[in-house]
Amino acid sequence: MTFCGIILLWEIAGLVGKGPKCMELYINKQNSWPLSQWLRYELGRQPANTKLSSNKTVRRVRVRGGNVKWRALRLHTGNYSWGSEAVTRKTRLLDVVYNASNNELVRTQTLVKGAIVQVDAAPFKQ
């Protein structure tokens, strides 16, 4: 597609003044999508950014179909397994030690998938 063709398609689609991401979405939806509004099922939400804290905070989130999800904002316990011993126990979280994706997540004590955390060993000693 030439540059003039892109500009023309941009004007036909009513995308003047909108960003390039809008054009990409329009092309990917086979030029049939009205760009005046987003559709409800395409809704995205902010990440939970669950923090390590002494008090537990879990919020209720209404999702599509009237269903409910629970979003953990602050936690101090977790269900962890010891693979070689084949045991799983609910234990207290002590510290976020390492995160391969971002050091900022370690500094802010954010709990994410793949984070290395230090746990209390007492439940595993039984």
Q: Could you tell me if 56 and 93 lie in one domain? A: yes
Over residues 59-77, the pLDDT tens digits come to 999 988 899 999 999 999 9
Quick check: is 44 in a domain? Answer: no
pLDDT in tens, the chain (126 residues): 554 555 555 566 566 666 665 556 656 655 555 555 666 777 788 999 999 999 999 999 998 889 999 999 999 999 999 999 999 999 999 999 999 999 999 999 999 999 999 999 999 997
Residue 101 exposed, middle or buried by CB count within 10 Å (0-12, 13-18, 19+):
exposed
Q: What are phi and psi of 9, to 5 degrees?
A: -65, -35
Q: Which structural domain range is residue 8 located in? A: 3-36
Q: Could you tell me if 66 and 95 lie in one domain? A: yes
Q: Could you tell me if 25 and 57 lie in one domain? A: no
Q: What does the pLDDT read at residue 17? A: 61
Q: Could you tell me if 14 and 62 lie in one domain? A: no
Count up the domains in the chain and report the number: 2
Give the predicted TM-score (pTM) of the model: 0.64
Other C-beta atoms closer than 10 Å to the C-beta of 10 total 17
